Amino acid sequence: MKFLFLPAIILTLGLLAAIVPQFTDCASDGLSITLANGKTIPMKCHWSARAEIAVAVPILGIALGSAFSRRKETVRILSMLGVLLGVFVILVPTTLIGVCGTPGMTCNTTLRPAMIAVGSLIIAASLGMLAYNEFRGREEI
């Protein structure tokens, strides 16, 4: 049962990575871009929020896979993938897509720092899982 602790943490963090951005982008504050022709389009933080869902889904898969897999090799690979995806959780709102520039906007005050924190924790938890698996992991079938 001890080994479920870290996958459970990664699962929770994955859910946070998926859900938090949906409520902290500028669209949730009712803000959008109005084009010259009068059409409105979402700000780029909205696309960051969507991209985080795409990154979070495989993280959920990694958590579940690690919890139920009995093979040391599988958990090793899943842990490494977890580290990589944690990096992507950070990169999406900072470098790859980004958020709005104005400091006071919700995406800047909440979405971006929250994803940096969640991504860092996913990396730490995945590394922890990797270490635990290497030193005290399960027997191979």
Partner 1 sequence: MSFGALVLRNIGAAGFRSAVILACVALVAGFALFTALVTEGSDQSLSKAKQRLGADILVVPKGSESRVQTALLSGRPTTAWMPKENLGKIAQISGVQRASAQLFLASLSNASCCAVSEMFMLVFDPATDFTLQPWLEHELGGPLKLGEVVGGTHVFVPEGDDFIMLYGYFLTLKATLEATGTGLDQTMFMAMDTARDMARISLSRAEKPLEIPENSITAVLVKTADGERHAVARRIQQDLPGVSVLERPDLFQEFGQRINVLTKGFFAVLAVSWAFATLTVGLVFSISANERRREIGVMRALGSPRHFALRSLLAEAALLAGLGAALGLVLTYCGVLLFHDLLASALDIYFLLPSLADLGILLGQILALSTASVAISTSLPAFRMSRTESVSLMRT
Q: Which amino acid does the sequence have at 119?
A: G
Stretch that binds partner 1, among 63-71, 78-86, 95-103, 124-132 (CB under 8 A): 95-103
Alpha-carbon span 61 to 53, nearest angstrom: 13
Question: Which of 80, 92, 94 minimizes the C-alpha distance to 123?
Answer: 80
Question: Around Cβ 135, how many Cβ atoms within 10 Å?
Answer: 7
Q: How far is CA 56 from CA 5, 17, 18, 30, 70, in A?
A: 19, 6, 5, 24, 23
Q: Is 127 in the site for partner 1 (CB under 8 A)?
A: no
Q: In whole angstroms, how close is the CB of 113 to partner 1 at the nearest point?
A: 3
Q: Kindly tell me which of 45 and 55 has the beta carbon lying closer to partner 1.
A: 45
Q: Kindly tell me which of 44 and 85 has the beta carbon lying closer to partner 1.
A: 44
Per CB under 8 A, which of residues 99..118 are in contact with partner 1? 100-104, 108-110, 113-114, 116-117
Q: Is 16 in the site for partner 1 (CB under 8 A)?
A: no
Q: Is 67 in the site for partner 1 (CB under 8 A)?
A: no
Alpha-carbon span 135 to 16, nearest angstrom: 29
Per CB under 8 A, which of residues 24..53 are in contact with partner 1? 31, 33, 43-44
Whether 26 contacts 46, CB under 8 Å? yes
Q: In whole angstroms, how close is the CB of 70 to partner 1 at the nearest point?
A: 25
Return the structure tokens found at 29.
Answer: 């504050």
Binding site for partner 1 (CB under 8 A): 31, 33, 43-44, 100-104, 108-110, 113-114, 116-117, 120
